[in-house]
Amino acid sequence: MSLLITGGTGYIGSHTVVEIQMLAASEGKEWDIVIVDDLSNSSTKVLDRIKQITSKSVTFIKADVCDYDAMNTLFEQYDIEAVIHFAGHKAVGESSEKPLNYYHNNVSGTVTLLRVMELHKVKKLVFSSSATVYGDNISPLNETMSTSATNPYGQTKLMIEHILFDLAKSDSDWSIACLRYFNPIGAHHSGLIGENPNGIPNNLLPYVAQVAVGRLAQLQVFGDDYDTVDGTGVRDYIHVVDLAQGHVKALQNLDKITGCKAINLGTGNGTSVLEIVNTFKEISQQDIPYKIVPRRLGDLATVYANADLANELLVESNKKFTNDD
């Protein structure tokens, strides 16, 4: 049996591949991993680095999840048992500038994937959702809260969640973990993989790192007039390896889920932009010049998780969950 990982050469996807391979090796098991990625924001160099870390190769197919024929061919060629779906555009600011790109790539791509999965009777899915679906709810955010979105990126994730819940209600054979995660940060301890986006980074830490090494002149801090500890936005920064391990746990526990279940992946703690910058500066002994610029459209002051359900379902409990829980 094979595991399909869409967007598997990306930041979170590549770390998840590593964690799956390492876990399988420690348990004397083996997953045949198939990665599909269009390489719009990643590189095939990641495949070599995954092999360096794990001593195992993966199958790579360059394709767009929006391409029905390509995806159908993939499922015909490989005996796929389950899917982890990362592929999608992910920049909040860019989504407000190019909403059609986001709705097409994220929503249409997921519908195409689901249609092909249904055709081939593959009904186990771990989906990469986002805390943006909580809209302007007050933190800590928990899975029982109402959902909404303040930007097109968040809207795409919310639309996909609605699709997944409707699909699971229509067919009880589906087992879907819908992981709402917060702000990934950091890199694998080997230093071989991490967040290295094409162009100017959209996320905080790679932006800070590129300023530290002189690749960029200064960091842009979007707003210093929020009602927070220092006026800058507060987010729940979760280490990418912890996040990847959360995906592995979700994959392992899909049999406990009947239907579709939303699960937060976060630390439960908030940290401001300037707290991150000052900590990086202190540890690296590098100056991080920054400039305060206007808030970004759709950004919120404070966002952090209640992670109780993840601990209960993915770590501590043998409880089964259904759509009604």
So which residues are the catalytic ones? 153
Contact assessment for residue 59 and residue 35, using Cβ atoms and an 8 Å cutoff: yes
CB 95 within 8 A of CB 89: yes
CA dihedral angle for residue 240, residue 1, residue 177, residue 315, rounded to 10 degrees: -60
User: CA 13, CA 119: separation in Å to the nearest integer?
Assistant: 25
**Beta partners for residue 185, in sequence order:** 239
Do residues 104 and 153 lie in contact, with contact meaning Cβ atoms separated by under 8 Å?
A: no
Asked whether 223 and 294 are in contact (CB, 8 A), the reply is yes
Torsion angle defined by CA atoms of residues 160, 165, 167 and 169, in that order, rounded to the nearest 10 degrees: -170
Task: State the Cα–Cα distance between residues 95 and 179, nearest whole angstrom.
Answer: 20
How many CA atoms does the CB half-sphere of 237 hold within 13 Å?
Answer: 14
Give which of 296, 267, 297 is closest to 181, Cα–Cα. 267
Q: In 185-318, where does DSSP find H-type helix?
A: 204-212, 240-252, 273-284, 308-310
Which strand ranges, in their side-by-side order, compose the sheet holding 271-272? 271-272, 234-235, 302-303
> Is-contact 14 22, C-beta < 8 A?
no
Q: Is 231 left (phi over 0), alpha (psi -120 to 50) or beta?
A: left
Q: Where are the alpha helices (DSSP H) in 262-307?
A: 273-284
Q: Are 19 and 244 in contact (CB under 8 A)?
A: yes
